Amino acid sequence: MDDIRPKLPTKPERFMDILRQHIRKQGLSYRTEQTYTHWIKRFIHFNRLKHPAGMGSAEVEAFLTHLTVQGLCASNTQRVALNAIAYLYKQFLGKEIPDLNFKLVKKQRRLPIVYSREEVAAVLSHLQGVFRLQIELMYGSGLRSAELLSLRIKDLDFGSNNIFVRGGKGNKDQTTLLPKGIIQDLQRQVKYVSLLHQQDLLAGYGLVFLPDALDRKCPYAAKQLAWQYLFPANTISKCPRSGIYRRHHMHSSTLTRQVNTAVGKAGINKPARCHAFRHSFATHLLETGYDLRTIQELLGHSDVSTTEIYTHVVNRGNKGVLSPSDRLRGQHKIEPIYSWLYQAGKTEYALFAIT
């Protein structure tokens, strides 16, 4: 249950507890709270546990430069750390930081990892049961891993073929399409959750975690099937906020391990990433001919420039682009170099080239 905010003391005294309380009063998401507290802790430990109120520009510059030179961090990582420290001083401590002079990492645009349709099919062939259904849903709807695992029964609308994503990245709600080909599998999953929920109720459990203050406004909603997670965990665990034993959703590491194994068995020479199926969803839609605006809405991007990254990884062959090398081989029937080496009796060079 590491995506549930832990309960804070009524009158916090520790520095980090007071900081967490301030972040929650500002209405920031729990993921932002986790990120800010992580980097603020690293900043404090880097400066040998000195209190931030007694530090200034010199310490901040040294820390950010350390991330670049010794840490070899990416530009986005450095900017996230800078945002956390800026919040610490400007919002929390009410202290202005003068102009900083540190080594700024040059921002580079990284292309996403995309699996071809054949590679997606190969990965699915090595997955079974609920894990295959999860990957089919991610690839068919463009969901993030956290959004997938946070789905509840009520978020599936089989009538309109829509999936409602609640509190996604940026704490935004959105809708995306529900693949028709897996509707029966999803309905079977709902039946499984229903039976599991009935067993939990008979065992004295069955109360699911509810967001915001819904547990006070609708106390009976926690027992309703509609609020149960679509992909529940195998075990019941203690809620860090209320102390009640609940059945939360499956942990992301469980799905990650399954994907790593499946990609390895499929013999795919690309990094194994759950997020790659979201990238593949967008890229394959773009190859099919859907416009960027439609894909932007399905992915939930606030800016179309974020979606434009997929134009750099589409299959150019589908757009009628023929490489000059392919055209040359088609006209002059140039044989591969390995074939020429074998015909010339230079097998040792051919084997060297292959290996």
Q: Looking at the annotation, which residues are catalytic?
A: 144, 169, 275, 278, 301, 310
Q: Is 204 left (phi over 0), alpha (psi -120 to 50) or beta?
A: left
Q: Which helix or strand (DSSP H or E) is residue 193 part of?
A: helix 183-202
- Say which amino acid occupies 42: R
Counting beta carbons within 10 angstroms of the beta carbon of residue 98, is it exposed (0 to 12), middle (13 to 18) or buried (19 or more)?
Answer: exposed
229 bridge partner residues: 152
Is residue 227 within 8 Å of residue 208, measured between CB atoms? yes
Helix, strand, or coil here: 59? helix
What are the two backbone dihedrals, phi and then psi, of residue 139, each rounded to the nearest 5 degrees?
Answer: -70, -35
What are the two backbone dihedrals, phi and then psi, of residue 236, each rounded to the nearest 5 degrees?
Answer: -95, 135
Q: Beta strand 174-177 with 162-165: parallel, antiparallel or unpaired? A: antiparallel
* CA angle, 182 then 187 then 193, to 5°: 125
Residues 6+ apart with CB under 8 A from 291: none
d(CA 144, CA 163): 13
177 bridge partner residues: 162
Write out the two tokens for 214.
């819904």
Write out the two tokens for 49.
């546990």
d(CA 115, CA 313): 10
